[in-house]
């Protein structure tokens, strides 16, 4: 058991730095050192992840956690997101100056939960890791302690508890049928069942549906998306950014692992759950894009945009189901989409944080003439909006081509046509923000400034979005390597 400790070195190192942040917060008055410690801890954890990259695929702690490129890739992605959110919070934390230590520590604890979640291969570990990340996020959403933030935190807590109960009930039904909580053991049981017995096992199938429903809340899929706009609007903007990328990436990673590992066979089973996800993808992207058209608050707009993006990602998830045992690029395409979406959405939110700090408003109309008040921030936000739309020369275009072409290869042309139509709809509300910034008259002539950590984070995201859009080959190779756990 002690020999296996090294495989969770990233989580242990991040936990140690989270504890250091808490202790230092008690004894030091200048709080500027706290984000430095948090960023240092994230980089140490990231280094530990990179040192594990390339190790043989193995499971540890009695098949509770897996050590593979898939899990390590998402751990690295979560840690990069954590660093960028901490940098972007440089000025925002002054709104709760007395609680900066708790803010950074809870962010790090949430990241630990998400890192365990993406490598979990046992239903018990999955649930514990999910709750570890969720409880921290419930607190962070209500961190501003005003009416709107408290309401958002309460709504997230109540709906999250309901989703957690649905998920746990689904796990209980699966365990009751198979007698196992280990994903590979469940897979062996399902493969060993005669087709007639499996088709006539409503308890197992209901458990699978409840499992998809529970994680539907995590990834903001229709009809489990009702929490998103209110929570995104009421939460501190850095937490909104973190929720929109790290939490979503981990949610898709774990649901892909569960479905492909435990329920990847027989063929009719993975085709059935793939079709369920395809239908949910249509509803999710359509509802998200149509409702986003009428939003006047930029955080609510990005909330519905996040729902729509989840729909595009579910196109990839459905195609993965159709190709459960095939040699296809669709699995690496889903990972590539999550990678590019994370950088793009974080870049957009970093610009929003910097702008909102100055104008003290999240109304889109108040962004009028922003290009004259801060050309660099307006340019950065525009690049990210173009990428979210899926236009060249950005990572968003390559990601959509990658994921949609894989779906077409699996016979889901009808789904891709709907997704392309939805992408066209999304251009209206994304470019509404661009139009306001570049063609509107400024409310006043005050310059909108940013700190160097905000510039560093925004510059990194924008540069990555453009570079990946122009030369995506190297990044595709990384995602293909991460997808090898599923047989690519």
Q: How far apart are CA 146 and CA 455, in angstroms?
A: 28
pLDDT of residue 108: 93
CA distance 427 to 4: 49
Alpha carbon 30 to chain centroid, angstroms: 33
The pTM of the full predicted model, rounded to 2 decimals, is 0.93
Query: What residues form DSSP beta bridges with 67?
Result: 58
In sign, the C-alpha dihedral spanning 389, 394, 399, 402 is positive
Query: Number of helices (H) and strands (E), helices first, in the chain?
Result: 21, 2
Token look-up 């109309």 returns 365
Report the pLDDT value the prediction gives residue 14, as an integer from 0 to 100: 94
pLDDT on residue 425: 93
For residue 479, the number of C-alpha atoms closer than 13 Å in the C-beta half-sphere is 24
Closest CA to 471 of 388, 395, 402, 385: 395
Residue 324 has a pLDDT of 59
Burial 402-430 (b: 16+ CB within 10 A, else e): bbbebbebbebeebbebbeebbebbbebb
pLDDT of residue 1: 62
Tokens in use for 307?
């729902």
CA distance 418 to 423: 9
Q: How far are the Cα atoms of 14, 91, 374, 387 from residue 354, in angstroms, in the given order? A: 27, 8, 10, 20
Cβ atoms < 10 Å from Cβ of 151: 16
pLDDT tens across the length of the chain (488 residues): 667 888 889 999 999 999 999 999 888 888 888 999 999 999 999 999 999 887 888 888 888 888 888 889 999 999 999 999 999 888 888 888 788 889 999 999 999 999 999 999 999 999 999 999 999 999 999 888 888 888 888 988 998 899 899 999 999 999 988 888 888 888 888 887 776 666 667 888 888 889 888 888 888 888 888 888 889 988 888 999 998 888 888 988 899 888 888 887 776 777 788 888 999 999 999 999 999 999 889 999 999 999 999 999 999 888 887 775 555 577 788 888 999 999 999 999 999 988 888 888 888 888 888 888 888 999 999 999 999 998 888 888 998 988 888 888 888 899 999 999 999 999 999 999 999 998 888 877 777 777 888 889 999 999 999 999 898 888 888 887 777 765 43
Please tell me the distance from the alpha carbon of residue 238 to that of residue 242, in angstroms, as a whole number.
Answer: 6
Is residue 32 classed as helix, strand or coil in its secondary structure? coil
Give CA–CA dist 302/297, Å, rounded.
9
Q: Is the peptide bond before 334 cis (omega within 30 degrees of 0)?
A: no
- First-residue to last-residue Cα distance in the chain: 31
Tokens encoding 403: 């994921």
pLDDT on residue 291: 93
Parallel, antiparallel or unpaired: strands 58-60 and 65-67: antiparallel
Domains in the chain: boundaries? 267-488
Q: Residue 487's pLDDT is what?
A: 43
């Amino acid at each position: 058991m002690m020999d296996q400790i090294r495989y969770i070195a990233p989580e242990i190192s991040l936990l140690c730095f989270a504890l250091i942040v808490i202790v230092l917060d008690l004894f030091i008055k200048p709080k500027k050192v706290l984000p430095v410690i948090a960023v240092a801890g994230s980089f140490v954890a990231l280094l530990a992840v990179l040192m594990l990259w390339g190790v043989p695929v193995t499971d540890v702690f009695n098949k509770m956690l897996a050590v593979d490129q898939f899990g390590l890739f998402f751990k690295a992605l979560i840690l990069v997101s954590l660093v960028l959110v901490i940098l972007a919070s440089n000025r925002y934390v002054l709104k709760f100056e007395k609680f900066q230590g708790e803010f950074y520590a809870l962010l790090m604890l949430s990241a630990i939960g998400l890192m365990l979640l993406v490598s979990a291969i046992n239903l018990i570990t999955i649930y514990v890791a999910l709750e570890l990340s969720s409880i921290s996020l419930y607190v962070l959403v209500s961190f501003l302690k005003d009416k709107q933030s408290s309401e958002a935190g309460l709504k997230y807590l109540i709906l999250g508890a309901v989703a957690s109960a649905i998920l746990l009930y689904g796990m209980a039904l699966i365990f009751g049928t198979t007698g196992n909580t280990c994903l590979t053991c469940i897979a062996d049981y399902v493969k060993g069942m005669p087709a007639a017995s499996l088709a006539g096992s409503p308890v197992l199938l209901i458990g699978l549906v409840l499992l998809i429903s529970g994680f539907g809340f995590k990834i903001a899929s229709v009809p489990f998306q009702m929490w998103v706009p209110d929570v995104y609007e009421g939460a501190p903007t850095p937490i909104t950014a973190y929720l929109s990328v790290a939490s979503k990436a981990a949610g898709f990673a774990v649901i892909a692992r569960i479905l492909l590992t435990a329920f990847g066979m027989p063929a009719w089973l993975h085709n059935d759950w793939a079709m369920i996800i395809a239908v949910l993808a249509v509803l999710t992207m359509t509802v998200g894009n149509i409702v986003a058209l009428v939003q006047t608050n930029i955080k609510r707009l990005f909330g519905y945009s996040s729902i729509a993006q989840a729909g595009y990602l579910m196109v990839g998830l459905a195609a993965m189901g159709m190709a459960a045992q095939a040699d296809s690029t669709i699995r690496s395409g889903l990972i590539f989409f999550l990678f590019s979406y994370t950088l793009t959405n974080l870049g957009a939110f970093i610009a929003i944080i910097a702008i909102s700090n100055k104008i003290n408003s999240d109304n889109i109309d108040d962004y009028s003439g922003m290009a004259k008040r801060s050309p660099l921030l307006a340019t950065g936000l525009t690049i990210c909006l173009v990428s979210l739309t899926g236009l060249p020369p950005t990572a968003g275009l390559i990601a959509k081509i990658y994921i949609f072409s894989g779906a077409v290869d699996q016979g889901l042309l009808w789904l891709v046509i709907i997704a392309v139509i939805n992408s066209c709809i999304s251009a209206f509300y994304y470019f509404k923000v661009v139009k306001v910034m570049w063609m509107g008259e400024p409310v006043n002539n005050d310059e909108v400034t940013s700190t160097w950590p905000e510039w560093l984070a925004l510059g990194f995201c924008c540069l990555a979005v453009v570079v990946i859009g122009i030369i995506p080959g190297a990044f595709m190779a990384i995602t293909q390597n991460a997808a090898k756990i599923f047989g690519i």
